[in-house]
Chain A
Amino acid sequence: MVYYRFDGTFDGLLTAVFQAFERHETPDRLLAPDGIVPLFYDVLHEVETDGEKARRVWLKLGKTLSRASLSGLTTAFLTDNPEFPDMAFRYICRAVTSDGSIENDFSDPAVLSVLKECRRVRGEAHRLLQFVRFQKAADGTYFAMVEPLFDVLPMAVSHFCDRFNDQRFILYDRARDYGYYYDGEEVRRMSIDTDSSYMNTGRLTDEMMDADERLFQRLWRTYFKATAIQQRMNPRKQRQDMPERYWKYLTEMNGCD
């Protein structure tokens, strides 16, 4: 059995493809850096990420895949599914060797898995658009904390810059400890380095809040309760569409009035 191990980056994945052709091998599996090495193997090759080799594979991919599929592949790569790098490896190998386009061959597990993982990642990015809740701080900046499953903040931030183009805001990913600050003109990546309580709860303290913030939070919670119809309660459906892992930072699911 031939195993390749790469460093977990997208360039590393592309380099692995390059080296498989260079070494005239068909690896049985591509292992992630923290992947468990099987007990028995013939070859364990450590792929050394090489920007130039990655670039050449990417160029070749650009010739066989549509732009939509290319972006689908990079999006899917953000998934946390440990099986995915191996699937992506097969997908790329098949794409660069076949004559026609293979991106619509949904009978191939690799093609199907790119589609499915891409859908999962995009779903998570969409949930950011849904469930981000801003709080207004005393200085007029709006602050929101999130903990998405995948690193999808970069996919969502342009939506917020477009929508709230006249308001300063911070959108912060607590799980990966970075965020974006938009000053009304430009957006930039930043980290907040403090142990203050708001960084742990995601909720601004009373001193930090704008004078009216509490009132509007209460108004929102009031509305949220009043709009539900008692005769058709369905908490299961609520959980299905609004997973519990988001509740921590949702204004309407926290605080009592």
Chain B
Amino acid sequence: MTEATLDKLKILAAAAKYDVSCSSSGTVRRSDGNGVGNTVGGVGICHSFAADGRCISLLKVMLTNYCMLDCAYCVNRRSNDIPRATLSVSEVVDITMEFYRRNYIEGLFLSSGVVRNPDYTMERLVRIAKDLREVHRFNGYIHLKSIPGASRELINEAGRYADRMSVNIEIPTEERLKYLAPEKNHESIFLPMKYVRQGVLENKEDKRHLRHVPRFVPAGQSTQMIVGASDDTDRDILRASSMLYGMPTMRRVYYSGYVSVNDYDPRLPAMKQPPLVRENRLYQADWLMRFYQFKAEEIADADNPNLDLDVDPKLGWALRHPEVFPVDVNRAPYEMLLRVPGVGVRSATLIVNARKFRQLTSWHLKKIGVVLKRAQYFITCGELTARTVADTSPEYVRSRLVPKSRATKDNPLQMTFDFNS
């Protein structure tokens, strides 16, 4: 461990930073008494926040940024003339262990450029995970990338050491993926996903019959799509996510606003700034699908294939469907409360509990944490006399909620969202 390591870490952390996933959630494991580490589950633990506001939970690093592929959107493509480096197995292991013991990180997120062939690369990733688990008795979180094209045996071995595995789709439609990344296709990406899924399901089955079954990717899989590198619509993206969430082990789909790293490539759009607002809207839509019982088709349909950047997707849906409002907060089922703009999962739960005790008024709703500024147009609660969307029109409500002065382009950097869980 020397000065040289410092430079390598700098290069390889910068090479890995465009991968958004960093969560340490999905599995609870107490310390086993011999060795170091545990995992906490829940939303995981974010140990720090970088200057770009993104959380740092895992040591996210590439083993090497040499790569034999030439994907248009990737900073590490072989035709780029950038500093390249490779960390040794012991370097990755040492840095992980020392960072972990100082409470800097929850564990390791290891990825790699493809060198020589997929199996060779995958094997080296597995070596590190195995070393951490078996030699250093590391019981913290490990997230491994599956290398597209790696063999089933290697993926299965990786699954015994990793908590989560992922392979990025990057582009939601196959034809555009082939256009931007000629060496990839959907099959090469979905195959490793399938191996992991089968591994998890077999593992589950084994647990039913056998007493001691080694764990297998207990925190499931995740994946990522780039937003704005191709001309896919939000509808394409959300339909792809919805299909992915249909897979039994898929826990998270991440969206990564394309940062223009290869602006010389004519296949890519010229962009001064990453599309942060669009990315934020996609995350909100993702939340609607995972926690609010919305379907992809409801959020972005054939008539509105792209999300409205001025209003969040839930408000957008409500404005397109004035016929279901106003909702009576004292009677409506939980699922309907979730659809009211300004009511979240937390406040909907509180409402359902509290209304058993008494008739709720807007005063109660405010105390509970409902955002009345938005909700007032979509609810009735006995005394409330605001003009709802049913009395007026979606256009009127929209004009009240989106100030004319606020153009979306004003300050896209101010949008915030959570990368966790």
Chain A residues proximal to chain B, CB less than 8 Å: 102, 104-109, 112, 126, 129-136, 142, 144, 159-160, 162-167, 212, 215-216, 218-220, 222-238, 240-242, 250-252
Within 8 Å of chain A (Cβ to Cβ): is B227?
no
Q: Give 29 A-B contacts (CB < 8 Å), ordered by A residue.
A: A105-B353, A106-B350, A107-B354, A107-B360, A108-B357, A112-B367, A112-B368, A129-B45, A131-B47, A133-B102, A134-B101, A134-B103, A135-B102, A144-B103, A162-B38, A163-B37, A166-B36, A167-B36, A215-B1, A218-B6, A223-B10, A223-B59, A226-B11, A232-B52, A233-B52, A234-B413, A234-B416, A238-B52, A241-B55
Name B257's closest neighbour in chain A (CB-CB). A232
| Stretch of B13-21, B155-163, B199-207, B385-393 that contacts chain A | B13-21
Q: Name the interface size band of chain B.
A: 35 or more
Within 8 Å of chain A (Cβ to Cβ): is B405?
no
Contact of B103 (CB < 8 Å), options: A105, A132, A166, A235: A132
9 new A-B pairs (CB below 8 Å) besides A232-B52, A232-B276, A234-B51? Answer: A104-B354, A130-B47, A136-B101, A159-B40, A162-B30, A223-B59, A233-B52, A234-B414, A236-B416
- Which residues does chain A contribute within 8 Å of B260, judged by CB atoms? 231
Expressed in whole angstroms, the minimum distance between the Cβ of A210 and any Cβ of chain B is: 10
- Which residues does chain B contribute within 8 Å of A240, judged by CB atoms? 53, 416
Within 8 Å of chain A (Cβ to Cβ): is B187?
no
Within 8 Å of chain A (Cβ to Cβ): is B46?
yes
Expressed in whole angstroms, the minimum distance between the Cβ of B173 and any Cβ of chain A is: 25
Q: Check if B102 sits within 8 Å of A251, measured CB to CB.
A: yes
Within 8 Å of chain A (Cβ to Cβ): is B406?
no
Q: Check if A106 sits within 8 Å of B36, measured CB to CB.
A: no
Expressed in whole angstroms, the minimum distance between the Cβ of A156 and any Cβ of chain B is: 11
Contact of A222 (CB < 8 Å), options: B6, B60, B259, B368: B6
Give the distance in Å from the alpha carbon of A231 to the alpha carbon of B16 in the complex: 15
- Which residues does chain A contribute within 8 Å of B16, judged by CB atoms? 227
Q: Contacts A165-B31, A231-B274 given: A236-B53 contact, CB under 8 Å?
A: yes
- Which residues does chain A contribute within 8 Å of B45, judged by CB atoms? 126, 129-130
Name B11's closest neighbour in chain A (CB-CB). A226
Q: Check if A236 sits within 8 Å of B49, measured CB to CB.
A: no
Give the distance in Å from the alpha carbon of A163 to the alpha carbon of B47 in the complex: 15
- At the interface, is chain A mostly helix, strand, loop or mixed? helix
Name A240's closest neighbour in chain B (CB-CB). B416
Contact of B101 (CB < 8 Å), options: A105, A106, A167, A241: A167
Chain B residues proximal to chain A, CB less than 8 Å: 1, 5-6, 9-11, 13-14, 16-18, 30-31, 33-38, 40, 45-56, 59-61, 95, 98-99, 101-104, 140, 257, 259-260, 273-274, 276, 350-351, 353-358, 360, 364, 367-368, 413-414, 416
- Which residues does chain B contribute within 8 Å of A159, judged by CB atoms? 38, 40
Give the distance in Å from the alpha carbon of A205 to the alpha carbon of B276 in the complex: 43
- Which residues does chain B contribute within 8 Å of A230, judged by CB atoms? 52
Q: Check if B274 sits within 8 Å of A232, measured CB to CB.
A: yes
- Which residues does chain B contribute within 8 Å of A165, judged by CB atoms? 31, 33, 36
Contact of A227 (CB < 8 Å), options: B5, B14, B99: B14
Q: Check if B31 sits within 8 Å of A163, measured CB to CB.
A: yes
- Which residues does chain A contribute within 8 Å of B9, judged by CB atoms? 219, 222-223, 226
Give the distance in Å from the alpha carbon of A105 to the alpha carbon of B356 in the complex: 8
Name B7's closest neighbour in chain A (CB-CB). A222
Q: Check if B49 sits within 8 Å of A241, measured CB to CB.
A: yes
- Which residues does chain B contribute within 8 Å of A237, judged by CB atoms? 49, 52-53, 416
- Which residues does chain A contribute within 8 Å of B51, judged by CB atoms? 225, 228, 233-235, 238
Q: Check if A105 sits within 8 Å of B104, measured CB to CB.
A: no
Q: Check if A216 sits within 8 Å of B48, measured CB to CB.
A: no
Contact of A223 (CB < 8 Å), options: B13, B49, B355, B360: B13
Q: Contacts A162-B31, A227-B50 given: A233-B102 contact, CB under 8 Å?
A: no
Q: Check if B416 sits within 8 Å of A232, measured CB to CB.
A: no
Q: Check if A105 sits within 8 Å of B49, measured CB to CB.
A: no
Q: Check if A106 sits within 8 Å of B368, measured CB to CB.
A: yes
Q: Check if A238 sits within 8 Å of B49, measured CB to CB.
A: yes
- Which residues does chain A contribute within 8 Å of B364, judged by CB atoms? 106-107
Give the distance in Å from the alpha carbon of A5 to the alpha carbon of B14 in the complex: 59
Q: Check if A234 sits within 8 Å of B53, measured CB to CB.
A: yes
Expressed in whole angstroms, the minimum distance between the Cβ of A216 and any Cβ of chain B is: 5
Q: Check if B104 sits within 8 Å of A231, measured CB to CB.
A: no
Q: Check if A229 sits within 8 Å of B17, measured CB to CB.
A: yes
Give the distance in Å from the alpha carbon of A237 to the alpha carbon of B46 in the complex: 14
- Which residues does chain A contribute within 8 Å of B1, judged by CB atoms? 212, 215
- Which residues does chain B contribute within 8 Å of A227, judged by CB atoms? 13-14, 16-17, 50, 54, 56, 60
- Which residues does chain B contribute within 8 Å of A229, judged by CB atoms? 17-18, 52, 54, 259
- Which residues does chain B contribute within 8 Å of A223, judged by CB atoms? 9-10, 13, 59, 61
What are the nearest 9 A-B pairs in CB distance?
A237-B53, A234-B53, A228-B50, A226-B13, A106-B354, A104-B353, A107-B354, A106-B350, A105-B357
- Which residues does chain A contribute within 8 Å of B351, judged by CB atoms? 106
Give the distance in Å from the alpha carbon of A132 to the alpha carbon of B47 in the complex: 8
Give the distance in Å from the alpha carbon of A227 to the alpha carbon of B368 in the complex: 38
Q: Check if B47 sits within 8 Å of A228, measured CB to CB.
A: no
Name B43's closest neighbour in chain A (CB-CB). A126
Q: Check if A142 sits within 8 Å of B101, measured CB to CB.
A: yes
Give the distance in Å from the alpha carbon of A233 to the alpha carbon of B413 in the complex: 7
Name B101's closest neighbour in chain A (CB-CB). A167
Q: Check if B49 sits within 8 Å of A242, measured CB to CB.
A: yes
Q: Check if A250 sits within 8 Å of B30, measured CB to CB.
A: no
Name A242's closest neighbour in chain B (CB-CB). B49
Expressed in whole angstroms, the minimum distance between the Cβ of B259 and any Cβ of chain A is: 5
Q: Contacts A105-B354, A132-B103, A231-B273 given: A226-B6 contact, CB under 8 Å?
A: no
